[in-house]
Each structure stands twice: as C-alpha cells, then as structure tokens.
Amino acid sequence: MNYFITGTDTGVGKTLVSCALLHGFAAQGKSVVGMKPVAAGSADGVQHEDVRQLRAASNVLASGGQINPYCFVQAVAPHLAARFIGIRINFARIMESFSELNAQADVVIVEGVGGFRVPLNDEQDSADLAEQLGLPVILVAGMRLGCLNYALLTAEAIAARGLTLAGWVANVPEAGMAMLKENIAALEQRIGAPLLGVVPHLEQPDARAVAGYLDVALLDKRD
C-alpha cells in the first residue's frame, strides 16, 4: 500500500495531502512513513519544511537520509540545484532509501517534487522516478484557474507511463475560485479514478484535520 503523490503544479498541496494520507492510514492501525526523494528550497540544505512535516505525520522513525536523499538550498528546478553544487541526482540512491523504508512500514507515501514532469537530472524526470518505483499514483489537483487543463494533461501523462492513477484529490489552495463545484464535476467526469476528497481552502491547514476530508477506503477498494 505505497503511493506516489504528484501534483498539477508546485504549491498545490502535495505535502498537505501526503501528510493527511499518512494520518489516515495511521488511523487504520498501519505503520506509515513519508518520503520526499528530492527537495529544493531548504533554508539550511539539511531539512526542508516539507520533509519536517512528513516526518511529523509518520509513526515510523527513519533517518533524514532515508526520507529525503537529496536536499538543496536553492529554490529552483532540482536538476539545476544539483548542478549548481556539482552533483547528479542518482535514482539508485533514491531506490535504496525507498527499499529501506518499505521494509519498515506498512505504507510509504512518496511525495514528488513540483509537477509530474519536473527534470531531476539531464536525462530523467519525476515521471521516470514514479515509473521506476512502480507505485500507483495519487494526483493532487490545485483548484484554481487553469486546473482543468493541468489535471487532465497530468492524468494523461500518468497513463502514458503505464502507471495506475489510484485516485485524485481536489485541493483548494486559494479562496474564491469561480464555479469550484462545476470544475470539480468536470474533472470527475473525465478522470478515470476516484475522487478521494475535496480539501476546502483553509487559512491554517492542519494535516490531521485534512485527513477527515479524504476517504482512504476508496484506495482499498481500488487495490
């Protein structure tokens, strides 16, 4: 019961939803751990804020290197941040960390970086990583202007990789989106995977509370 979390863009709530899923599975009595293979934009290059949140939502203790093999200070595309300090993001290192986490937990939630096709090195991107991991994908759709195109293109790209879209989440990062319900209905009609939940706009999002908006039982039925 491991999942790869991707989004329609950066800043659409992948970390919030990933942490909420961890809380949801933990409430079922499962051992859970979050993983962020690549993070860019860390204040100190040691622990990214997304990683801190994932660790807080996990009930399995794991090392920082297992949870986040690559952490960069610069808030730029990961392949550029890696190039700036003279290293290359190596999938073998990520796969090794994932295998270690998988041996420790019932559920590993792997949060991608940015959108589905963000470059990770000169030859590979986030979609290649999802493909190599071979995990079912959960798509976080940031409900804002342009989301229909982004969500449908991402769902299409996931299918093109031969990956299973296990479900999707409609997250509302900004208040006041026009015709929100109609946009969600349009995606429900076109995405061939269950809507796991709608996360409303929250001034102070709390992952434990957001877990209440998600139905992880739909994932059990899908599996």
CATH number at residue 153: 3.40.50.300
* Residue 145 forms part of a structural domain: yes
Output helix, strand, coil percentages for the chain, rounded to the nearest 5: 40, 20, 40
* Residue 29 forms part of a structural domain: yes
Number of structural domains in the chain: 1
Helices and strands (H, E) in the chain, number of each type: 10, 8
Place of tokens 């096709």: 117
Quick count: other Cβ atoms within 10 Å of Cβ 115?
20
* Residue 79 forms part of a structural domain: no
User: How do the pLDDT tens digits run along the chain, 223 residues long?
Assistant: 899 999 999 889 999 999 999 999 999 999 999 999 999 988 776 678 899 999 999 999 999 899 999 999 888 999 999 999 999 999 999 999 999 999 999 999 999 998 999 999 999 999 999 999 999 999 999 999 899 999 999 999 999 999 999 999 999 998 889 999 999 999 999 999 999 999 999 999 999 999 999 999 999 765 4
Place of tokens 């599996």: 223
* Residue 77 forms part of a structural domain: no
* Residue 166 forms part of a structural domain: yes
Look at residue 82 and give its three-state secondary structure. helix
For residue 166, the surrounding DSSP H or E stretch is strand 165-171
Q: What is the C-alpha separation between 65 and 69, in angstroms, rounded? A: 5
Q: What is the C-alpha separation between 49 and 51, in angstroms, rounded? A: 5
Which residue range is the domain that position 185 belongs to? Answer: 3-40+48-70+91-222
Per annotation, catalytic residue among 14, 30, 36, 221 = 36
| 36 annotated active-site | yes
* Residue 81 forms part of a structural domain: no
